Amino acid sequence: MDDVSDLLRRLGPAQAPVAPVDEDGIVATIVGLGIFTVGGILLALRYDWLVGRHLEWWLWVAATGVAIGLASLVFLRWRKGRRTTKADTDPAADNPVPVEVATEEPARQREQA
């Protein structure tokens, strides 16, 4: 049984050492905000067409997307500034202590003792 658990531990899933693409989410929020803004402008230009087909609610979808995007952008910039300030005052805040993977070794040693 020990051989199987050791084999699974070695061959199990491992986290690839890949850096995050966008750590704070600001770029993704700006892209989404831009898409909703352009969509809203295009829909506003075709408002008569929307009303004729009872689809004017799509303009509200675009307006809601822009509002949520602006609120998200304000929050994300506030959070980024807060993290930067915290990292300046506390060097350990940016480098958390890595969590060790729990093994069965201490339990086995207690059982044998």
pLDDT of 65-87, one tens digit each?
A: 999 999 999 999 999 988 888 77
What secondary structure does DSSP assign to 41-59, as a single string? HHHHHTHHHHHHTT-THHH
Q: What is the pLDDT of residue 34?
A: 98
**Rg of the chain over CA atoms, in angstroms?**
26
* pTM of model > 0.85: no
Q: Environment class of residue 36 by beta-carbon count within 10 Å: exposed (0-12), middle (13-18) or buried (19+)?
A: buried
Check pLDDT > 90 for residue 14: no
Read off the tokens for 70.
């602006």
> Domain residues of the chain, as ranges?
23-82
Residue 51's region, left for phi above 0, alpha for psi from -120 to 50, else beta, is: alpha
